[in-house]
Amino acid sequence: MSETVALSIVHDIVARGLTTGDRLPLEAEMLTEYRVSRSSLREALRILEVQGLISLKPGPGGGPVVGRVDARHLARTATLYFHLGGMTYGQLFETQQEFEPICAARACQHPDRRERLRPFMESYQAVPQGPDYHASTQEFHDVVYDLAANPVLALISKAVTQILTVHIISTMDPVDMHAAIHEEHQVLARTIVAGHANRARELTEEHFRRQHEYYLRRAPSRIDDLIEWR
């Protein structure tokens, strides 16, 4: 029953056009609307909270609030399945190397690609340092995902990258590759803007292959590890 109620709540969020931060009805209203027991409703809300689809604010004026469709939540859930399925980080790298070139090639068809990628061609000259480097790198790839104009492909690609970033890159940051990666982003941005889909696909595949080879050299045993659930 709790799963049925959770599904009904999600359907209503979509049907009512609710977005991140919007409040859901209070418990008393939801009990009347869904005609279930308090325990079933609370379990349904807990299911959605665990998935990051809602948050429960405590205290006066609190209650359930709509969350966001965030690749981090999908990544966390996916790692459980990957771990139980005996899948490795090497296989996840292979998946990233398949998905990312598709996103780049599709971005070449988007009518807004020049405007969206302009910052990465004009003012994206000096290599950012520290946290700024990682923020700018993520921003570049997020723009490419958006330009791919396929939310399913974008969400799955982001989730794969999220897992690798948290589990691998955070402890083996390729600092000596930052300048090269930065320059490759500039070249890739110009290629996408020019609409050269095949070339964008090739450049992106090479871009990630070089990084994957770096991690393989640094920690070959880590690549064969099972993906951790976290």
CATH number for the region 2-66 comes to: 1.10.10.10
Q: At what angle do helices 178-194 and 131-147 cross, to 10 degrees?
A: 20
Number of continuous H segments (helices) and E segments (strands) in the chain:
11, 2
* Measured distance CA(144)–CA(9) in Å, rounded: 32
Q: Which residues of 57-66 are buried (b: 16+ CB within 10 A; e: fewer)?
A: eeeeeebbeb
Tokens of 133: 């480097």
Nearest partner of 189 among 123, 130, 142, 121, judged by Cα: 121
Chain centre distance of CA 102? 16
Instruction: Give residue 10's pLDDT.
Output: 95
Instruction: Give residue 191's pLDDT.
Output: 97
Instruction: Give residue 61's pLDDT.
Output: 73
Read off the amino acid at residue 74.
Answer: L
Q: Which CATH number fits domain 71-223: 2.40.160.10, 3.50.50.60, 3.30.70.420, 1.20.120.530?
A: 1.20.120.530
* pLDDT, tens digit, 9 for 90 and up, residues 33-82: 999 999 999 999 999 998 889 998 887 777 899 998 899 999 999 999 99
Domain edges within the chain: 2-66, 71-223
* pLDDT, tens digit, 9 for 90 and up, residues 100-140: 999 999 999 999 999 999 999 865 567 888 888 999 999 99
Instruction: Give residue 6's pLDDT.
Output: 94
Instruction: Give residue 126's pLDDT.
Output: 75
Cα dist from 202 to 16, 76, 106, 164, 206, whole Å? 42, 30, 13, 21, 6
